[in-house]
Structure 1
Amino acid sequence: MGSPLGDFIRTTRDSIQPQSLGLPDHGRRRSPGLRRSDLAARAGISVEYLTRIEQGRDRNPSVVVVNALADALSLNSSERDHLRYLTKITGGACPTHTRPAPPRREVRPSVLETLRLLEPGIAMVTNRLGDVLAHTSGYESVTCGTGLLDTDTPNLTRYVFTDPRARTFFTDWDAVADEQAFDLWLGPSVANSEWFTTELARVAGPDFTRRLNRHVVPRRGALRLSHPSGYELQLLRETLELPSDAQQLIVLLPADDSTAQAVDRLRRGSHGRLRVIS
């Protein structure tokens, strides 16, 4: 049985072309990317030890080893953060067979007041599992008709992977799907994330599982939406982390004049209000 840390190291190694690191190309081989022996040599560890880490048989590598692997894989800062996070949860996670208590859904009054001050802008409060906990009328106007907010407990991740309308609504659906899958690794707790991914995998299928285990660190560029009314929207994203609540306040801003005009028309046609979803 593997581990999140081992999966990340292996998939990253498989994605690296030896020539990009100044290593010789050994010709055709059964698996793509960097050889395990080459990575071990660059990190200064044995092949046998690297194999144990990748296969999940060693779940507590030292900080020195983790940093050496990050250097050997030429990881950027975001990828290094993810590697350290996976090291932490791999070493500390305990398997569980019972459903844990759900993450908190309450939004603090001060956060709600901040959301009210953002009206009629486009903003929402969510957590890493994708639960939409509160949103402005502006957010409702740009998602109206897409099905995203149709349920009593809307969840963006579930919507992206299980609602066919999401593939039309999100112009760059592949990038959004990678983002939502990646964020599950940063969920409110390891236990909650594992339970949610297990439940979602049953209905979302192998594409969800594949994206989850690729550990692709998203770039999070502008969000492009194809609204059912015919408007093409391009929105910039600003995120305020609320670490004590394991939540995020996300604000979406028009990236150009045409988007601003379209958003204004959508607002005039909407009669929404600030909504807290309990």
Structure 2
Amino acid sequence: MADEPNPLGEYVRARRELVTPEQAGVPTFGVRRVPGLRREEVALLAGISADYYLRLEQGRDRNPSVQVLESIARVLRLDEAATAHLLRLGAGGTRRRRPRPRPRRETVAPGITKLLATLPLPALVEGRCFDVLAANSLATALSPRFAAGANRLRSLFLDPAEQALYPDWESAVGGMVAAFRKSVGTDTDDPRFIELVGELSLASPLFSRLWARHDVQACEAAPKDIDHPQVGGLRLNRERLSIDGSPGQTLVLYHPDPGTDAADKLALLASATRTPADGLHRGAGVR
């Protein structure tokens, strides 16, 4: 049991270290040798024994009740998305893992492919590990790293040209990492997930630090500032829409507010990239 993966223990330990005694209302005396809260402080505030909490962190008890997990979530100041992730991790301990089947290639439905080609906005389809599965020509004009076969996380952490597009790059990548963890959930034996996390952990110290925080959040709609090398600064709204019938796939759209400078610049970019045939960059799938 001790040699098996312990995602629940890793998660609560990482989150425990991010909560200060002041945030939890715990009085402090003298020098503290650990970041964040001590195990016994979490146990006391959650209303469980220190020994039981220790067993949870060490993976010696993998069947906590929902009530216990919700109490721990309250102490660790987890929001709704992070609490849901904690509950999924706790539920995973009650199931015996089955042998994982050979992963299927992620492919885009024909109807979505046709839709991308007709949209007058930058649009792409992402897989569950943020692989770009398909994109229209305006999306690749906005960023060449939006092309099919690229990976959004790899581009943001390892490609200086992609980083230069975003004035707030360092603040944006934290949200992407947290959304990636939420997207994968408890399916951490996915070979694609293992490959990507391993590559980024070795190549990017920033990714390693952010990944160790175990942040979890939804990748929600939000305005994005882009410093485009041809048309200059753009503020575009990013929308992420789940695709029915294709679990884990997301349609990502970028659109400007009507009548803004960004709308004019996007129209200029569209006219410069328009060809007789609608442009669509489609990958054969990622796996």
TM-score (norm 2): 0.81
- Cα deviation, 1:59-103, whole Å, max 9, x if unaligned, reads 33222211121122232212212222333456658599x9x7445
Q: How far has the Cα of 1:163 moved from its partner?
A: 1.5
What is the aligned-residue identity percentage?
A: 30
| Shift in alpha-carbon separation, 1:93–1:228, aligned structure 2, 3 A | farther
CA distance in 2, matches of 1:87, 1:242: 28
Farther-moved stretch of structure 1 (125-134 vs 15-24): 15-24
Q: How far has the Cα of 1:198 moved from its partner?
A: 4.7
RMSD: 2.9
CA distance in 2, matches of 1:93, 1:4: 14
Runs of 5+ unmatched residues, structure 2: none
CA distance in 1, matches of 2:173, 2:94: 27
CA distance in 2, matches of 1:243, 1:93: 29
| Shift in alpha-carbon separation, 1:60–1:177, aligned structure 2, 3 A | farther
Give the letter aligned to residue 268 of structure 1: S
Q: Which residue of 1 aligns with 2:37?
A: 34
Q: Is the 8 A contact 2:143 2:162 kept in 1?
A: no
Q: How far has the Cα of 1:111 moved from its partner?
A: 2.3
SS at match of 1:226: strand
Farther-moved stretch of structure 1 (185-194 vs 268-277): 185-194
Q: Which residue of 1 aligns with 2:176?
A: 180
SS at match of 1:135: strand
Q: How far has the Cα of 1:49 moved from its partner?
A: 1.8
Question: What pairs with 1:158-177 in structure 2 (closer than 5 Å)?
Answer: 158-177=154-173
Give the letter aligned to residue 164 of structure 1: P
Q: Which residue of 2 aligns with 1:70?
A: 73
Give the letter aligned to residue 190 of structure 1: T
* Residue 250 (structure 1) aligned to one of 244, 249, 252: 252
CA distance in 2, matches of 1:13, 1:161: 26
Give the letter aligned to residue 108 of structure 1: A
Q: Is the 8 A contact 1:120 1:137 kept in 2?
A: no
TM-score (norm 1): 0.83
Q: Is the 8 A contact 2:155 2:162 kept in 1?
A: yes
CA distance in 1, matches of 2:57, 2:255: 41
| Shift in alpha-carbon separation, 1:254–1:101, aligned structure 2, 3 A | farther
Give the letter aligned to residue 125 of structure 1: V
Give the letter aligned to residue 180 of structure 1: M
Runs of 5+ unmatched residues, structure 1: none
Tell me how many residue pairs correspond in the alignment: 271
